Structure 1
Amino acid sequence: MVTGLLLMAGFVLLLAAVVIGAVMVAEAFGKQIIAEEIVLYSLPEALDGFRILFISDIHRRTLPAAMLSSLGHVDAVFLGGDLTERNSPLERLRMNMKLVTSIAPTYAVHGNHDYRADIGKVDDIIHSSGAVLLRDRNTVIEHGGGQLWLTGVDFPATGGKKGYAPLPPLPPGSEGSCRIILVHDPLWLSERGPQPANLILAGHTHGGQVVLPFIGHGHVDNFYRTYNAGWYEWPQVGAAGARAQLLISRGFGTAHLPLRWGSPAEMHVLTLRCPQD
């Protein structure tokens, strides 16, 4: 009798482990696209309706060509770093870059895992795809007679997570323009005050990747316990009380093991909007 109960309990535990494992793999290889409209108060009217495909932390995954090709019109693609990782086939990165650059003009920043790969070959693939790699520099995006500024913050190749270069200033006469900052790791903000930007896009956290009931995510740095995944506000340079919008993506790929729990894979389509009178 006791042996039978133990065997039954073991079977139930094994079945539960299999089910949980299947759910974790399914979340890791999910293809969720989150579409949202974002109001930016300094956005020129000409850019009202400007659509951005934002993807972060691809790692070893192959981007879904059919899904991305069916999105409709996209004006720009922003890649938030970790486009690949060590020992991931470079041909996969080449295919992913070919796909996104076929959708719209593409802008990218490095993540920490990009530097752990063969960064010279990684950058060659990015450049040859036609994408713009922003290493601590600004670029202007013009659309319909209006413009916005995009600033790419490069992950430190040396010096650890806090060895960042200063944020590049906009050219004289561009102060007060609509500006987006693209940075891989939101921890970049942890030692910085108000930012001269309207929107900040980041990734890196994977939303914790495995978020356990009653325990939560396993981030060590306290900053991530507050700024984990989703939408936040950050003090903005300018008028008193002004706030920049901050989006931290859970990312499309996974770090280390291809498993997720409570933090499904995602990418984003952001439609920029002017405020309504």
Structure 2
Amino acid sequence: MNRRSFLKSALSCGALAFAGSYPILIERNIVQVNRYKIPVDNLPLSFHGFTLAHLTDIHLGFLVSPSFVEEIVHRTNSLNTDAIVCTGDYVHNRNTIEEIDTVWPILSKLSARYGVYSVLGNHDHWGDSNRSLYWLERSGQNIRHQCKPIYKGRDRILIGGAGDFWGDELMIDRVFSSSDQGDCRILLSHNPDSVDTGFETPLSLVLSGHTHGGQVVIPFLGAPRLPVKNKDYSSGLIATPRTPLFISRGIGWAILPVRFNCYPEIAVLELVNPRLVA
């Protein structure tokens, strides 16, 4: 083999090695902070510009270390958003009290001026429902099957939490059973398919995860695999017939430890009243 052929072969092998390792070793570990403006029709004017840091699908376990999660929590706190919301799948494996007992002391360090609100996902129930529910309550972040008001003067918004679509009962109507007719209701629900179930309560916004954005997004074609019934539910803000739905790409991985054209994210949502947006 002459020098030119050797260099060409070496460069080709290097390119193939990079292409093969990039989704596993590089993009999967680059966590972006992405900011979104979210119009909410009945948002009280005093809440215009209210910010939420949205965390989901951390999946502590293989290739997602406690130190990695510590850094996510530190970065989220440093964003100084008004509140923090978490929509489940904090652990990865089934039957794993150890992972649950590892991740929740870290998540309990989340802090925001108007509070931290969390629900569980299917992996949390598969890990161990009772232990996950124990830590959810102990953390002071529990919003499952209930809603809590955030006040600014006499104005308020309600943050509510559904049970997981696969591992629990949703109970969306029960969540907001004590709300008033004109309330701004924001629901945390791990699986976005929850939006298509048979609840009657009007919702102002639903925040979900679960899809990971598909993890692999092919340009012009989208994500070839989404773990939801409604294949329109990938990531970002989606106008469903019933309510605006925001789906975060999340932090960790499922099925395969890869990300391509679908960076993990901490989503920062700025709630805006459309009447005040030029």
Coarse TM-score class (shorter-chain normalised): 0.7 to 0.9
Determine the C-alpha separation between the residues in 2 that align with 1:166 and 1:91.
28
Tell me, in whole angstroms, the C-alpha distance in 2 between the residues paired with 1:234 and 1:156: 18
Unaligned runs of 5+ in 1: 237-243
The answer on 1:78 being equivalent to 2:74 is no
Match for 1:219 among 221, 225, 246?
225
Change beyond 3 A, Cα 1:154–1:140: same
Identity of counterpart residues, as a percentage?
A: 27
- Residue 93 of structure 1 deviates from its aligned partner by 1.1
1:213 Cα shift?
Answer: 5.2
Following the alignment from structure 1 to structure 2, what is the Cα–Cα distance between the partners of residues 146 and 13? 62
Deviation at 1:268, TM superposition (A): 1.2
CA RMSD of aligned residues (A): 3.1
CA distance in 1, matches of 2:35, 2:153: 22
In 2: Cα distance, 1:139 partner to 1:103 partner? 15
Pairing 1:145–2:151 present: no
How far 1:247 moved relative to its partner? Answer: 0.8
Preserved CA contact (<8 Å) 1:33 1:268: yes
Which SS does the other structure have where 1:89 is aligned?
A: helix
Note the 1:1-20 alignment, pairs <5 A.
Answer: 11=10, 14-20=13-19
1:228 to 215, 219, 234: 234
Structure 1 letter corresponding to 2:100: L
Shift of 1:99: 2.2
Matches of 2:13 and 2:138, distance apart in 1? 49
Aligned to 2:109: 99
* Structure 2 residue identity aligned to 1:218: P
**TM-score when normalising by structure 1:** 0.80
Instruction: Assess if the C-alpha contact under 8 Å between 1:35 and 1:270 holds in 2.
Output: yes
* Paired residue type of 1:232: I
Shift of 1:204: 0.5
Q: 1:46 deviation in Å?
A: 2.6
Structure 1 residue 186 and structure 2 residue 216: aligned?
A: no
- Equivalent residue number for residue 128 of structure 1: 138
- For 2:105 and 2:175, the matched residues in 1 are separated by 34
1:69 aligns with 2:74: no
Q: Normalised by the size of structure 2, how large is the TM-score?
A: 0.80
Matched residues in 2 for 1:109 and 1:31: separation? 22
Unaligned stretches of 5+ in structure 2?
none
**Residue 119 of structure 1 aligns with which residue?**
129
Q: Does the CA contact (< 8 Å) of 1:193 and 1:235 recur in 2?
A: no
User: How far did residue 90 of structure 1 move?
Assistant: 3.4
Aligned residues: 263
Alpha-carbon distance in structure 2 between the residues aligned to 1:230 and 1:210: 15
Contact 2:87 2:208 in 1 (8 A): yes
* Alignment deviations for residues 174-193 of structure 1 (CA, whole Å, 9 cap, x no partner): 01211111111112223458
> Which range is displaced more, 208-217 or 44-53?
208-217
1:150–1:182 Cα contact (<8 Å) kept: yes
Structure 1 residues 221-260: aligned runs within 5 Å: 223-236=229-242, 244-260=243-259
Q: Which moved more, 1:166-175 or 1:112-121?
A: 166-175
